[in-house]
């Protein structure tokens, strides 16, 4: 086979281009300290690296969610602790005014003023907000959940926070459960289920048929209201029975009834308020324990995610970071190879047509 000068030139040129390309890649790795700068460098490792980075970004977002939820939960727990102190103070005052040996009409009236202040503080705690969101309003975090009279304007919704791909934790406690003693299902937001029946009028709300008035308690004639000194005692008894029927204790109503009993100089009303204050305090303690459980869950999830972030970063580093000592060795080797190729190529393609004409 005849070896032409062009073949020698092409072979030399291809060898030099390969050496320069290898040297350029090594210099790029030295500049970025990364072994993989494009997917073609190592397709398999690049695929694993992309999956690792996706998991890392997800874990970092979950950590942000958890940190925000922890701040919300911690502030809620502090508010409930303050509410517990208010109830304890009201109980101390009630105990001091529950007998005639250490109390009289004047002391009870002065104590009623302090109970009124405590009730105002309780309303303020229930309307506490973090940033621009109220703590105890359920999903309605933009408006104050309680009126000055203690009426609840929020709902029973719990704001769920994702702590990983499979789990969510509520970060709030609705105020109707903590301060009014309502059940979890009360005031919960409900979405009406669509019906598949297209018959006209089938999905319209049905108007109940009017029953005899005797079957509707609200239509029965109200019993005559008692008059005289026993009126307050009966009112307190009715409130107690209503509270127990609802399954909880209305904290604001307890404080309000205690204030009324003190102003009316009713020893029996003050004594009855003691048990209700215990129930209110237990209700707040249960809510605090629930929040404590959530805080423990958030801390555990945060620790697990932090460990996962470290492991993902370590795996990503092992996949894409370059070995410095190996890189320096390969860089020196590539430079020496290029110099040797240039020296040998200059001798190989040195003869030309003019050399043959001489």
Closest Cα to residue 254, out of 277, 279, 288, 224?
A: 277
pLDDT reported for residue 85 = 95
pLDDT > 70 in the chain, percent = 72
Contact 278, 123 (CB under 8 A): no
Predicted confidence (pLDDT) per residue in 200-240, tens digit: 444 444 434 444 433 433 334 444 444 444 454 444 444 44
pLDDT reported for residue 260 = 93
Which position has the higher pLDDT, 312 or 81? Answer: 81
- The DSSP symbol for 147 reads -
Predicted confidence (pLDDT) per residue in 242-287, tens digit: 443 445 889 999 999 999 999 998 889 999 999 999 999 999 999 9
Q: 298 pLDDT exceeds 80?
A: yes
What is the average per-residue pLDDT within 130-134?
Answer: 90
Helix or strand or coil: residue 129? strand
Question: pLDDT-derived band of residue 14, with 50, 70 and 90 as boundaries?
Answer: confident
By mean pLDDT, which of 160-164, 211-215, 317-321 is the weakest?
Answer: 211-215
Contact 34, 327 (CB under 8 A): no
pLDDT reported for residue 2 = 62
pLDDT reported for residue 349 = 61
Contact 174, 248 (CB under 8 A): no
Predicted confidence (pLDDT) per residue in 50-76, tens digit: 888 888 888 999 999 999 999 999 999
Please tell me the CATH superfamily of domain 52-186+229-313, with its number.
f41 fragment of flagellin, N-terminal domain (1.20.1330.10)
Q: Tell me, rounded to whole angstroms, the distance of Cα 173 from its chain centroid.
A: 12
Helix, strand, coil percentages, rounded to 5, for the chain = 65, 5, 30
Q: Residues 6 or more apart from 66 whose CB is under 8 A from it?
A: 161, 163, 298, 301, 302, 305
- Checking DSSP bridges between strand 133-134 and strand 129-130, what pairing results, if any? antiparallel
pLDDT reported for residue 241 = 40
Q: Tell me, rounded to whole angstroms, the distance of Cα 130 from its chain centroid.
A: 13
Instruction: Give me the residue label for tokens 């030099």.
Output: 16
pLDDT reported for residue 92 = 93
Q: Residues 6 or more apart from 294 whose CB is under 8 A from it?
A: 73, 169, 170, 171
Q: 147 pLDDT exceeds 60?
A: yes
β-bridge mates for residue 162, sequence order = 168
């Amino acid at each position: 086979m005849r070896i032409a000068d062009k073949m020698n030139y092409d072979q030399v040129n291809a060898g030099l281009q390969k050496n320069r390309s290898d040297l350029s890649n090594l210099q790029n790795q030295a500049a970025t300290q990364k072994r993989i700068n494009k997917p073609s460098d190592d397709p398999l490792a690049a695929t694993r690296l992309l999956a690792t980075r996706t998991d890392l970004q997800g874990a970092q977002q979950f950590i942000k969610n958890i940190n925000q939820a922890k701040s919300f939960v911690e502030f809620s727990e502090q508010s409930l602790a303050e509410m517990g102190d208010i109830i304890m103070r009201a109980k101390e005052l009630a105990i001091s005014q529950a007998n005639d040996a250490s109390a009289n009409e004047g002391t009870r009236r002065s104590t009623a003023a302090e109970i009124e202040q405590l009730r105002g503080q309780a309303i303020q705690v229930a309307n506490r907000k973090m940033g621009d969101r109220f703590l105890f309003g359920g999903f309605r975090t933009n408006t104050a959940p309680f009126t000055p009279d203690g009426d609840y304007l929020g709902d029973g919704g719990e704001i769920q926070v994702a702590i990983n791909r499979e789990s969510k934790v509520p970060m709030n406690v609705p105020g109707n459960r903590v301060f009014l003693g309502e059940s979890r299902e009360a005031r919960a937001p409900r979405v009406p289920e669509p019906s598949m029946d297209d018959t006209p009028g089938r999905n319209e709300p049905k108007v109940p048929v009017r029953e005899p008035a005797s079957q509707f308690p609200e239509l029965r004639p109200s019993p005559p209201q008692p008059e005289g000194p026993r009126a307050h005692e009966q009112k307190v008894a009715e409130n107690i029975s209503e509270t127990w029927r609802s399954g909880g204790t209305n904290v604001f109503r307890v404080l309000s009834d205690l204030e009324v009993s003190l102003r009316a100089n009713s020893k029996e009303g003050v004594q009855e308020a003691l048990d209700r204050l215990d129930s209110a305090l237990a209700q707040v303690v249960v809510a605090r324990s629930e929040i404590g459980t959530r805080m423990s869950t958030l801390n555990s999830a945060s620790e697990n995610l932090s460990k996962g972030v470290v492991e993902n970063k370590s795996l990503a580093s092992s996949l894409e970071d370059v070995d410095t000592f190996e890189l320096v060795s390969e860089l020196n080797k590539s430079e020496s190879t290029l110099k040797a190729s240039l020296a040998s190529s200059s001798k190989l393609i040195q003869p030309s047509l003019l050399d043959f004409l001489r």
